[in-house]
Structures are given as structure tokens and as C-alpha cells.
Amino acid sequence: MSTEVEGRIKEKVKSFILSSINVVDFSEEDHLFESGIVNSLFAVQLMTFIEKTFRIEVGMDDLDIENFKSIKATADFVMRKNGQLAA
């Protein structure tokens, strides 16, 4: 169940990034910011998308690049916020 949810989250986040940025493909472990797939201007757009799509609020304590550095990290973060993954 958890794997299925995680897969859906990854798919949605990746689809959002692909719809916004001109990049052919990337893996779920690729560092989104360090690799240059997205830039810092995109950070708030990604956060807003995550908040709306997964009905969570990104607060000050969540401001950590580790939470959003890759598709996998983002999915883990969303699941933690939803109580579906241990912190």
C-alpha cells in the first residue's frame, strides 16, 4: 500500500516538473537543484504544487533542501507529512 502511494506521489511530482521544465527525463534520485534540472525560482512553485496536490502545509520547520532535493525525497516528505512514513 505504502509503495503504491509512494509511486503515485512520485509520478505526480515528476509529471509536474516535466510540464514546467524543458528536460527530457531524469531519475527519481537525481538532485533537482544541484543538477540544474530546476532553479531556485522554481522552488516556491514546486512547494505550492505539493501543498495543493497533497493537501499538506509546508511550514518553517520543513524548509530543508533534503525534503525537496529529488523526486524520491519529495515523495518521502509528503508521506511523512501525511503520517504514512516514519520520520
Partner 1 sequence: MESLLTDAQKTRYQEVKKFVATEVEPFVEQWDRDQTHPESIVSLLGDTGYLGSTLPTDYAGKGWDFVTFGLLNEAFGRGSSALTGLITVQAMVSMTLLKWGTNEQRKKWLPLLAKGKTIGAFALTESGGGSALQSLTTEFRRKNEGDGFVLNGEKKWISNGQIAGLFLVFGKSEQGFVACILPRETSGLEIEPIKEMLGFRAAGLAQLTFRDVAVPASSIVGKPGFALSHVAMVGLQYGRISTACSAAGLLRGCFEESVSYAAERRVGDRNVGNFGMIRSLIARMGADLEAAHLLSYAACRAEDEHLSEAFSKALIAKYYNSQAAVRAASDAVQIQGASGCHSSSSAARYYRDSKLMEILEGTTQIHEELLGKIFIDQAGKPLA
Binding site for partner 1 (CB under 8 A): 16, 19-22, 40-41, 43-45, 47-49, 51-52, 60, 63-65
To the nearest whole angstrom, how small is the minimum distance from the Cβ of residue 3 to partner 1?
A: 26
Residue nearer to partner 1 on the CB measure, 4 or 57: 57
Distance CA 48, CA 85 (A): 21
To the nearest whole angstrom, how small is the minimum distance from the Cβ of residue 33 to partner 1?
A: 9
Residue nearer to partner 1 on the CB measure, 1 or 17: 17
Grid cell locating 70: 529529488
Grid cell locating 86: 516514519
To the nearest whole angstrom, how small is the minimum distance from the Cβ of residue 52 to partner 1?
A: 4
56 neighbors 82 (Cβ within 8 angstroms)? yes
Look at residues 76, 42, 41 and name the one whose alpha carbon lies nearest to residue 62: 76
Residue nearer to partner 1 on the CB measure, 2 or 11: 11
Phi, psi of 18 (to 5 degrees): -65, -30
